[in-house]
Amino acid sequence: MNDYLTIYITKENSNITIKDYLSNLGVGKKIIHEYSQLRFFFVNGIPTHSMYQLKLHDILEILLIDENDDEVSPNSIEILYENSDYLAVKKPRGLLTHSDGLNKDHLTSRVAYYMQKKNYQHKVLPVHRLDVDTEGIVLFAKNFISLSYLSKLFEERKIIKKYYAMVEGKINQSGVIDKPLSMNKKLNKMIVDPKGQPSKTSYKLIKYSNENSILDITLHSGRTHQIRAHFSSIYHPIVGDSIYGNGGEKLELYAYYLEFIDYKTKEKVIIKDNIPY
């Protein structure tokens, strides 16, 4: 089955080569060269190469390379958003985002099964990941352009990520935790470290629940275990956190919101899940 990615060239994207257009979206030189050599770029139905200069109202089509070799798991998934370039899936608590080499049932294999049932014969990969104990939205890319573009947005912190969390104790209504973090190999967890990577987390109080606080949290950087380490550092660990807190039945942390600009339409995309409290 041949699948084409179709892009309508606007004024903003005209008068540059296909190579430059894709490079601006974060696509690597090796991939661009491969597709150009195979003549998998088509403009207005005519095969061409990466040095073709795009013009206003051109229709760029890219023939996607068939890569149907993913392991699959037939377990169900909950889709929160889907279009031709990406889909957002709700990851249950306790499920890995991708394979650890041991488990064949993970979110990526479930998505692969869903896409194969739709006869889509190309790799669909997660753009980011959530901890196994964290529930919430994971974004998957359906092609190499959306994967490159969304990965670039995450790296440049141009995707807004929000979480709900229940933390131990009663916390102030709002605040910012701006503390560098690094991995302590002896403790096998992230710690506040003046020599660590810059890390910033902001939060707003939603309400109190008994002696705990329910917060709306925004990540301004994407360090491993950032939220968990930050709130532990101010003596309000996430309820149920067995690594940074006092443990419990479940980790009360939910990735509920993603916001970014679509590379085709230039419109804002908001993907949102319901508050669990």
Q: Which residues are catalytic?
A: 131
Distance CA 271, CA 86 (A): 12
CA distance 86 to 242: 33
Nearby residues of 35 by Cβ (< 8 Å), 6 or more positions away: 41, 50, 62, 65
Residue with tokens 């995707």: 159
Cα–Cα distances in angstroms (integers) from residue 3 to residues 22, 66, 111, 215, 217, in the given order: 18, 9, 18, 43, 39
DSSP assignment of 39-81: T-EEETTEEE-TTPBP-TT-EEEEEPPP-----------EEEE
Contact yes or no for 227/219 (Cβ under 8 A): yes
Distances (CA, A) of 169 to 99, 192, 237: 36, 21, 9
- CB count within 10 Å of CB 104 equals 9
